[in-house]
Structure 1
């Protein structure tokens, strides 16, 4: 929902107990919202407990 920018679904999920810091495919909802530049969702996630200091492991593929 954060990648697609669907604030209605995001609000529904959070209101029904979704974890705003849950990692999926190495991303948190906040990271997904930041990558898409959606300030409304970023603000909403932070207001509802998103951890702005959460570290994730990123694996890079350097094969050429």
Structure 2
């Protein structure tokens, strides 16, 4: 993805599971995400994030 396409609070796919965007660094093309599956915050390249319409935001799982 591109950093300008992301929104704080948005759910996207990271390593085949949904994560939430916490912070966005558009200058360095990085994002801080909340990984609910591993209960951790990670600083990752936005290129590792994927928009996925099957990401169900309310349940933190795919439907």
Name which one, 1 or 2, has greater alpha-carbon Rg: 1
Q: Higher strand fraction: Structure 1 or Structure 2?
A: 2
TM-score normalised by structure 2 residue count: 0.27
TM-score normalised by structure 1 residue count: 0.26
Q: Higher helix fraction: Structure 1 or Structure 2?
A: 1
